[in-house]
Structures are given as structure tokens and as C-alpha cells.
Amino acid sequence: MILVTGFGSFPGVADNPTAALARSLDGSRIDGVLVRTAVLDVEFAGLSERLKELESRHQPHLILGMGVSRVAERPTLELRGVNWVGEHVDAAGALPVSLGKGPAELFATLPHRAFLEALDGVSSTNAGRYVCNAWLYTALRDLSTPALFLHVPKRGLPLVLLRHALQAWWRETRSGQ
């Protein structure tokens, strides 16, 4: 099973395209593998607990988080989460000092070349200092399931392209390449 999360609205983004992408994927199958999804609130508080609850309920083999980027022109796969937050409040008006105990940074180690090629995307080691970075950092720190995080351009991403990329990623991770 593959778990995919998107985010809801937040200050400056009333219509987050990752919410619609996640909802459209829920219950579908990729290479016979069930996809389950969740749309998360753009809030720092409780994020780790929500991810752990989703992992426990669904017991996925892979997890993909998605968030919108107001500046990215291409899909951007984030490979590093840091234990630090910026100066912008979340959708609930909160701004934590840190993301809790843990190393200063964590790196995603999953194979991802085929995923990026299928998306015509780029990789990055700067997930920002907002809830998207918090998602990646806490997923890498707190979950046992391998996870990656994708920033989607504000204009969105065609569902067929995301499905193709998920298929390539599934095959790539299953083959161990």
C-alpha cells in the first residue's frame, strides 16, 4: 500500500492543489497496489502524531507527502528536512520554536531517480522552513515507513503524471535500484 498526503489551505493559498490530487488518488491502484490518501491541516501542532496514526492505520510500504510551492516551476522532490522553523505562522496562527528533539537535519535515502524522471522534476535539499519541511523532518525522524516529500507548483500537477511517477517510484523501490 502507498500512502499519499496533501495539505489543505493556508495563509496565501486558499486552494491547495495537493488536496485535490490526494483526494483523486484515494482508493486507486498502481501496479495492483492500493493507494490511500489523507489531506492534512497546514499546522505544526500534532503533525507527527497524525503521521504516526496514518502509518499505524494503513501500514503502507511507501509514503509520499505533497505540498504546494509558490515559487517552484517544476515538481521538486525534497530530500532533506531540518529541525528548524521559519517566521511564518501556520493555518492555526501558530509558530513553534523547533520540531522537537532530534538531529539538526535528516536526509531521505529512498531511490527516487525514476520518480523524478517521470515527473520531469528536480531535487532539492531545502524543503523550506514551513509545514512542508516539518512533514518531511518528522516523517524521517518518527516513522518506520520510507517517505519522500514533493513540492508541487502552484499551478498544480496533472493527475496522470503523478500516477505515472508513483508507478515508476513503486517499481524503482521494489527493484532496489
Cβ(3)–Cβ(54) below 8 Å: yes
Instruction: Give pLDDT tens digits for 83-98.
Output: 988 888 999 999 887 8
Predicted confidence (pLDDT) per residue in 133-153, tens digit: 999 999 999 999 999 999 999
Chain segment 60-89, per-residue pLDDT in tens: 999 999 999 989 999 999 999 999 888 889
Instruction: Over range 102-121, report the average pLDDT.
Output: 94
* Calpha distance 29→125 (Å, rounded): 30
**146 phi and psi angles, rounded to 5 deg:** -60, 140
Q: What domains appear along the chain, each with residue ranges and CATH number? A: 2-175 (3.40.630.20)
Instruction: Give me the phi and psi of 166, to 5 degrees please.
Output: -60, -40
Q: What is the pTM of this model?
A: 0.94
